[in-house]
Structure 1
Amino acid sequence: MKKVEIFDPAMCCSTGVCGPSVDPDLTRVASALYSLEKRGFNVKRYQLTNEPDKFAKNQDVNNILHEKGPDSLPIVLVDDKVMKVGSYPTNEELAEWFELKPEELTEKPKVRLSINLNQK
């Protein structure tokens, strides 16, 4: 089974919905990765802010950061091979890597809230 790892730049969250403006590319990637994870595919995402050790331990990522600096992030690895530097994978690329159709990567998380208005 393929393994995809995304090494994100320093940011407060991976969804793109925090802060003063929403980043549609981050929202798209978060949704696509959610769909892949739900199907049992091996996808990992590391944030420089929270997991700097992952960046330091991966020799390819470490080399790219030393050569090109933090603007090289995100870095995308597929089966431990660098596939993208400086941009996120498109849904078409993710679909190709996992042998899916791009439209299968658009499922959004569903959250249900239960509110009891009769509670005293």
Structure 2
Amino acid sequence: MIGLDTNILLRFLLKDDAAQTDKVTALFENLSDTAPGYISCITLMECTWFLRHRIKLKREQIVEAISDLLDSADLILEDERVIEEALGIMVRTNAEFADVFIALRNRDAGCVTTKTFDAQAAKTIPGMELL
């Protein structure tokens, strides 16, 4: 298994730097179900934040990008079940991936609630409460 950093994942998704994209493409072509790439929760969170706030992708594009990663037989995403649940909530609400993912991970860690100053998140995400 090979860990993938955020900048590798971003080059794979954006293909915005020819030289780096060529290297990432070669790396991804050598991944397999017996030697997969690994995307940690931290990497995924950083990547989705960057795509949403720096690149200004729409929520629907974020859902599609993460879904494509989940569908790859050559990639393992940490906490895939929670990621899939977060995507489902995103589709049904106007919540952001990071907010939903944080609330779900906290729930799974045994938290009874996740306190936030984000009124929209508290209103739409199960387990989030406004402080």
TM-score, normalised to structure 2's length? Answer: 0.24
Larger Rg: 1
Richer in helix (by share) = 2
Higher relative contact order, chain-length normalized (CA < 8 Å, sep 6+): 1
